[in-house]
């Protein structure tokens, strides 16, 4: 169990800069997520931590040790890949025991393997071949294999992306339980923002080879610092406008012909962000008329696409409206980003 630190990590492939200077601190025992669109550099970052890629510049520290020049076999990491990467010529037990060949446990190997298989709910499956297992079982074997030598850092690269939705949700909970039980410092890579919000102690949004924002899921969701983060994590209605001084408290944001009241003191060009769930037909503030374009039923409510001033506005509503309605939002629910 160890603290993990990346400073100024860069990696270039030919002319393409994959990492443009990554600075990160992952706390001891934390479940930390790197989330971003494909090609943003999150997997490259993970591979640098594992020692499978060599950064062009920057340092990677496990605790107080600089591991930048340490080969992957000596770093003490456990990695789980998206497509399991189980050794096809070995049984489940041999797969899980593989890392113990190089790092024998204190007790017996058999006991350790049995304990790991028990941990991932695969007790008694040790003699199976990998190709006799379902996708979910394979991924649990991969997890047990990564954890068997008690790594300092657990690295998970899209481990749930190959699985179907229901299984993914269940395995996500299980993963989180195992991680908490062992308290192992964990870096989790995913492109799925909902997964990142659900599972992380803290998360980092990665964008174009850089860290866009780091924080607890609620904090980043409620307080995005850039338009990219605002739109990537969850849905958002973002509108460019100009902030002018307010009367007593807060400010006014002017977009086209309309003015919206917001909290806080803002001046100059800004982007106004309002979450779909913050829009309401009964709101008493910031009202505007919008025309219903599409309605999607989601089970617990509706996602309604409106047209307002020639642009798309999305709202989450309890009832399906028709025709034209008046929408509004609480000034405190809006996020204002300087441009």
Partner 1 sequence: MGDAHRPVLLRRTRGRLANPAGAPDAIVGWVRAGFPAVRTGLFGFTAYLAVLGTGGAVLVGLPGAYVLARYEFRGRETIRSLTVVPFVLPAIMVAVGFTAMFGTHGALNDLLGVVGLHLTVAFDLPLVVAALTFYNAPLVTRFVVAAADTVDARAVETARTLGAPRWRAFLDVVAPQLLPTFLAAVLLVFVFDFMAFPIVLALGGLQLATVEVWIYSLVSNLDLTEAASLAVLEAAITLTLTYVYLRYERGGGAGTASATVERVPLVGPPSAGRLLAAAYALVALVLYVGPLASMIAESLTRAGSLSTANYAFLLAQQLGSGGTRPTVAVSNSLVFAVGAVAIAVPMGVSVAVVTSDKGRLRRLAGALLMAPLAVSGVVTGIGLLQGLVFGVDVLGYHLSVTGPVAIVAAHAVAGYPFVVRNVAPLLARVEGDLVAAARTLGAGPARAFRDVTLPLVAPGVVAGAAFAFAVSVGEFNATIVLARDGATYTMPIALERYLSNPSIGPYLGPAAAMGTVLLVVTAASFVVVERLGGRWEG
Contacts with partner 1 by CB under 8 A lie at 50-52, 71-75, 77-79, 81-83, 85-90, 98-99, 101-103, 131, 142, 145-146, 149, 155
In the complex, the smallest distance separating the C-beta of residue 86 from partner 1, rounded to whole angstroms, is: 7
Q: How far is the CB of 201 from partner 1 (least distance, A)?
A: 23
Least distance to partner 1, CB of residue 326, Å: 48
Q: Detail the DSSP E strand segments found in 222-330.
A: 237-245, 251-255, 258-262, 268-274, 288-297, 302-308, 311-317, 324-327
Task: Please tell me the distance from the alpha carbon of residue 334 to that of residue 288, in angstroms, as a whole number.
Answer: 15
Residue 335 CB, nearest distance to partner 1 (Å)? 39
What's the closest the beta carbon of residue 230 comes to partner 1, in angstroms? 33
Give the residue with the Cβ less far from partner 1, 85 or 182: 85
Is the Cβ of residue 32 or residue 81 nearer to partner 1 in the bound state?
A: 81
Give strand pairing partners of 190. 35
Instruction: Identify the burial level of 200 via C-beta atoms within 10 angstroms of its C-beta, where 0-12 means exposed, 13-18 middle and 19 or more buried.
Output: buried
Pick between residue 87 and residue 183 the one whose CB is nearest to partner 1.
Answer: 87
DSSP letter for each residue of 98-161: GGGGTS--SS-HHHHHHHHHHHTT-TT-TTS-GGGS-HHHHHHHHHHHHHTT--SEEEEESTTT
Beta-bridge partner residues of 9: 22
Least distance from partner 1 to the Cβ atom of residue 72, Å = 4
Return all residues near 293 (Cβ < 8 A) that are at least 6 apart: 305, 306, 307, 312
Closer residue to partner 1, CB minimum distance, 98 or 302: 98
- Give the burial string for 157-196 (b: 16+ CB within 10 Å, else e): bbbbebbeeeebeebbebbbebbeebebbbbbbbbbbebb
| Nearer CB in complex with partner 1: 51/217 | 51
| 1, 30 contact by CB (below 8 A) | no
Euclidean distance between CA atoms 320 and 318, whole angstroms: 7
Q: Which is nearer to partner 1, 133 or 239 (CB)?
A: 133
Q: How far is the CB of 119 from partner 1 (least distance, A)?
A: 17
Complex with partner 1: residue 72 or 301, whichever CB lies closer: 72
Give the separation between CA 233 and CA 222, rounded to whole angstroms: 10
Residue (52 or 283) nearer to partner 1, CB: 52
Residue closer to partner 1 (CB basis): 145 or 172: 145
Torsion of CA 101, 105, 110, 111, to 10 degrees: -160
Q: What is the CA radius of gyration of the chain?
A: 24
The distance of closest approach from Cβ of residue 52 to partner 1 in the complex, given in angstroms and rounded to an integer, is: 5
Six token digits for residue 68: 């930048």
Look at residues 284, 304, 280, 302 and name the one whose alpha carbon lies nearest to residue 292: 304
For the bound state, the minimum distance from the C-beta of residue 137 to partner 1, rounded and expressed in Å, comes to: 16
Six token digits for residue 274: 């309002």
């Amino acid at each position: 169990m160890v603290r993990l630190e990346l400073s100024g990590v860069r990696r270039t492939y030919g002319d393409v800069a994959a990492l443009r200077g990554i600075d990160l601190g992952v706390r001891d025992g934390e479940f930390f997520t790197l989330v971003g669109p494909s090609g943003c550099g999150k997997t490259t970052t993970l591979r640098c931590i594992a020692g499978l890629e060599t950064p062009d510049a920057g340092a990677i520290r496990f605790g107080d040790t600089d591991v930048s020049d340490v080969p992957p076999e000596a770093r003490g990491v456990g990695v789980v890949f998206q497509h399991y990467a189980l050794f096809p010529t070995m049984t489940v037990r041999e797969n899980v025991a593989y890392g113990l060949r190089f790092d024998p446990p204190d007790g017996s190997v058999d006991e350790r393997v049995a304990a790991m298989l028990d941990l991932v709910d695969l007790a008694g499956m040790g003699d199976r071949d990998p190709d006799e297992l379902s996708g979910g079982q394979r991924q649990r074997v991969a997890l047990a294999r990564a954890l068997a030598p008690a790594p300092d850092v657990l690295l998970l690269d899209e481990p749930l992306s190959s699985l179907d939705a229901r299984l993914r949700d269940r395995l996500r909970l299980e993963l989180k339980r195992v991680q908490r039980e062992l308290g192992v410092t964990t870096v989790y890579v995913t492109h799925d923002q909902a997964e990142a919000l659900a599972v992380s102690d803290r998360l980092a949004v990665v964008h174009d080879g850089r860290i866009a924002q780091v924080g607890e899921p609620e904090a980043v969701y409620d307080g995005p610092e850039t338009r990219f983060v605002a739109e990537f994590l969850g849905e958002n209605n973002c509108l460019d406008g100009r902030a002018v001084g307010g009367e007593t408290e807060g400010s006014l944001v002017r977009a086209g012909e309309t003015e919206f009241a917001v909290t806080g003191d803002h001046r100059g060009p800004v982007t106004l962000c309002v979450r779909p769930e913050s829009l309401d037909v009964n709101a008493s503030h910031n009202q505007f008329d919008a025309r219903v374009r599409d309605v999607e039923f989601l089970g617990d409510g509706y996602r309604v696409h409106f047209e307002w001033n020639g642009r798309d506005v999305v709202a989450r509503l309890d009832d399906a409206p028709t025709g034209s309605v008046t929408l509004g939002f609480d000034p405190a629910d809006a996020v204002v980003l300087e441009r």
